[in-house]
Structure 1
């Protein structure tokens, strides 16, 4: 599906430049969610149809990141999914993380300080060089939340493999606009409410098969069982990554499935080209060189106030304006923002 054809499936108010905070649902996702809410209100159906959306979402995410559905666990958020990985670290493990990392990929490691887990934070551009034989795990975001920077994944993965360290990535600000191959990582987690345009409460986690059997499913319940284990012993966990599933918030996945399937139909390569072109249009209007991200972070005092007065919605992170551009963003949205900022340049 071409971008021009797809954009008619969204109905944003002009000026939404804040997908890095949350994404806007396409019409198929919104309609599916409204139908499910109406079914719930009336008690019209069983939950089986809503539950089928979890399987559809898992399969669509797996396709998006180039892995098998059996290697993808589902949950509600990144920190919850990564907490199981953190709990599997040995006492005294050493973890290296960028110093600007979003806390969902930092706090899960820091809470284990009481058993000697050491967290070392370094500048993003020094991450690969900080990995040596003492490091057990390196964790980073594929795209940084605060700045929109693409992390040096190739260098980090190469250094980790050379020293036997595990590689854990948060792809929340990447999946949906940036092509991502999850199989390169040991663990790759992603919340779906931003660039995947799903309701908040759906998240996915690729876990390499070699690592999966080393993790204890600390949140195991009926959904982690083989064919949904309802009552009584013995423990019968799924053989696949489903053993790490947590019981899903059904309606989040009802909305996630159509959104993810649509992204696959459009193709992330097309979305990437569209999003980065709009980001570069914005950068050019501010006198900046082209970049490689759908997120633009810039120091413009008073920018948030000026944009808000013009009806443009963006964010401020770490004291800087953060504007983000996705499939439903138009050139008119970009130009409206630039006009609002004209006096601040």
Structure 2
């Protein structure tokens, strides 16, 4: 399939007014995503919500599409409003003992670094370590390893399959936050084998805030209890004329973690995006995004920047003597949107960007350096 990337770009109205290179903060939502959300709201009004059970059938179709995107089964997928909710579920489901620990990487996204707020009364230690000391930090008292598939600041892309094998050999639960990768990079949970992977779709999946999902491996589902219980907790919840009273009999699927109602419109917007990505092809999207990231690094180096190719779709650069926050603010005033994170200027192109965007970035940066 030959892809017309100009036609793809035309789906994103925000790009008419901005040079947008900040998808690691927010992905732009295409017209088809907004249209899907509005169609759901129109259907709701036209039918007075009389078909509300049908909505869940539509959501199950989205669940199946997401499973296809990450090479999982539909029963492995549950919807969550954000990745923090999924992380809280797995942290809260571990029977912690004083002195046990969680291992994560230094400069991780705050979700990981805030784990002590959930378990401080249980005497659990959080170990924040640089990548070169990562494996040494995992010991007989480690219960959880929690990392991002791509680091939001440095763009580090850890070897997930290798980490998974190392963790599972030691009976350690492995949590991955895929928010900073899924939608841009190909994802195959059969290879990376996380126990849980959470994705908030507002970045690289170009979806509204509040539309997210988690993959929960079958083995983890056997021992991880839900954190919420609601009318959809009982496996026969679709029998709304006679809702079950008493202790619910839980589904074996990951749906058991959803509990109550879902943000239908937001999920329809995400579903439209997932279907489009499957149509374009995850491999083609990854090739496009990584190519743009490499081209961005080349331009940044021409300007004297230091940027390491980590194999990720984010270009993190440092310019000697330049404040990245100042650079980002000045670029913003020119409608060139990038970000500053932990001493780096962060450039994060998506498949809707093009070489002209990178030329504009280089042109405006040259004036500032």
Q: Give your verdict on TM over 0.5.
A: yes
- Equivalents in 1 of 2:45, 2:223: separation in Å? 42
**Secondary structure of 1:206's aligned partner:** strand
Q: Provide the residue aligned with 2:152 in structure 1.
A: 145
Does structure 1 residue 341 correspond to structure 2 residue 365? yes
Q: Is the 8 A contact 2:38 2:265 kept in 1?
A: no
**How far 1:291 sits from its partner (Å)?**
4.8
Q: Shift in Å at residue 250 of structure 1? A: 1.3
State yes or no: 1:95 paired with 2:102: yes
2-structure distance, mates of 1:88, 1:299: 40
Match of 2:289 in 1: 275
State the Cα deviation string for residues 84-112 of structure 1 (Å, max 9, x = none): 21112122232111121212234345411
Q: Aligned residues, how many?
A: 345
Q: Structure 1 297/41 Cα, relative in aligned 2: closer, same or farther at 3 Å?
A: farther
After TM superposition, give the deviation of residue 180 of structure 1 in Å. Answer: 1.7
Name 1:244's counterpart in structure 2: 257
Out of 272, 285, 289, the residue aligned to residue 258 of structure 1 is 272
Q: Which moved more, 1:157-166 or 1:263-272?
A: 157-166
TM-score (norm 2): 0.86
Query: Do the aligned partners of 1:150 and 1:293 also contact (CA within 8 Å) in 2?
Result: yes
* Greater than 4 Å deviation, 4+ residue runs: 39-45, 288-291
1:179 aligns with 2:192: no
SS at match of 2:232: helix
Once residues 315 and 55 of structure 2 are traced to their aligned partners in structure 1, the CA distance between those partners, rounded to angstroms, is: 37
Q: Structure 2: 5+ residue runs without aligned partners?
A: 302-306
Q: Could you say what secondary structure the match of 1:139 adopts? A: strand
Q: CA deviation at 1:257?
A: 0.7
Q: Per the alignment, in what secondary structure is the counterpart of residue 213 of structure 2? A: strand
Equivalence for 1:16: 20
Deviation digits for residues 298-324 of structure 1 (CA, Å, limit 9, x no counterpart): 234232133113211112222422121
What residue is the counterpart of 1:67 in the other structure?
Answer: 72
Q: CA deviation at 1:15?
A: 0.5
Instruction: Return the match for 2:247 from 234, 255, 275.
Output: 234
Normalized against structure 1, the TM-score is what? Answer: 0.92
Contact 1:53 1:257 in 2 (8 A): no
User: Counterparts in 2 of 1:1-345, with a 5 A limit?
Assistant: 2-4=2-4, 6-11=8-13, 12-13=15-16, 14-40=18-44, 44-46=48-50, 47-48=52-53, 50-92=55-97, 93-108=100-115, 110-183=117-190, 184-228=193-237, 231=243, 232-246=245-259, 247-287=261-301, 288=307, 290-300=309-319, 301=323, 302-345=326-369
Residue by residue over 1:211-249, the C-alpha shift from the partner in whole angstroms, topping out at 9 and shown as x without a partner, is: 102111121212333143653223122121110124311
* Separation of aligned partners in 2, 1:343 and 1:278: 22
Aligned 8 A contact 1:22 1:194 in 2:
yes
Q: Secondary structure at the match of 1:341?
A: helix
Deviates more, 1:123-132 or 1:324-333: 123-132
Question: SS where residue 19 of structure 2 aligns?
Answer: coil
Question: Post-superposition shift, 1:49?
Answer: 5.0
Deviation, structure 1 residue 32: 1.2
TM superposition shift of 1:116: 2.0
Q: Is the 8 A contact 1:100 1:124 kept in 2?
A: no
Q: CA offsets, 1:176-211, max 9 Å, x none?
A: 111122241111111111111111111111111111
Measured in 2, the distance between the counterparts of 1:2 and 1:104 equals 39
Q: What SS class does the counterpart of residue 121 from structure 2 fall into?
A: helix
Distance in 1, matches of 2:310 and 2:227, equals 41
